[in-house]
Amino acid sequence: MKDLTSDEQIQHSELTDSVAFITSDNEAIKKEITDHSETYVLPSIKIRYASILIDAIVITLFAFSISSILDKIESVPDFVRGTLFIFLLGLYEPLLLSTGCTIGQLLLNIRVRRFNDPQKKIYFHMALIRFVIKVSLGWLSFITVTFNKNRRAIHDFAGNSVMITNTYPKI
């Protein structure tokens, strides 16, 4: 390793101290911000699964309703049916999460919110990323729920979100 000149030593020392200082501050801030288990009631995995089941029933009912309406219309092309189904299935959760909550979450009084600011709804593009990961991994996405204090699933990490119990509904 090369010997540093006195100017380089000073710069290295300043840089090291700055990095250590920044790291210390970020760790303190991060620790303060990221433990939502002390501030919010976090739903159990059973409640989360129940919410998904309710949403699956709602989506199925919507799909059957759309199908029966399309059956009454003459000669609807299959690609229109497929597009409507994909639209319903692929946008139900992301669209509803970014505007509030899904029907299952509403009934069970839980909400998906931004991890860094749980008072705010997640953005549509983050809800879409979250949904794609959730669907891609299936139940495997929930493995991490039991291993972290914020009960975040893999799709919550991907969507920078946290699921909380809505203990303060708007009246």
DSSP, residue by residue, 137-156: HGGGGGGGGGGSTT---HHH
| pTM strictly above 0.85 | no
Question: What pLDDT does residue 163 have?
Answer: 95
Q: Cβ distance 142 to 158 under 8 Å?
A: no
Q: Is the pLDDT of residue 43 over 80?
A: yes
Q: Quick one: pLDDT at residue 65?
A: 92
Q: Is the confidence at residue 74, as pLDDT, over 60?
A: yes
What is the DSSP pairing of strand 110-114 with strand 161-165?
A: antiparallel
Strand partners, 121: 113
Q: ∠ CA 130-136-140 to the nearest 5 degrees?
A: 90
Those residues whose C-beta lies under 8 Å from the C-beta of residue 143, and which sit 6 or more positions away, are: 153, 154
On average, the pLDDT of the chain sits at: 81
pLDDT band at 1 (very low <50, low <70, confident <90, very high): very low
pLDDT average, residue stretch 5-26: 41
Percent of the chain clearing pLDDT 70 (strictly above): 77
Q: What average pLDDT does range 119-127 have in this prediction?
A: 96
Q: Can you say how many angstroms the Cα of residue 66 is from the centroid of all Cα atoms in its chain?
A: 28
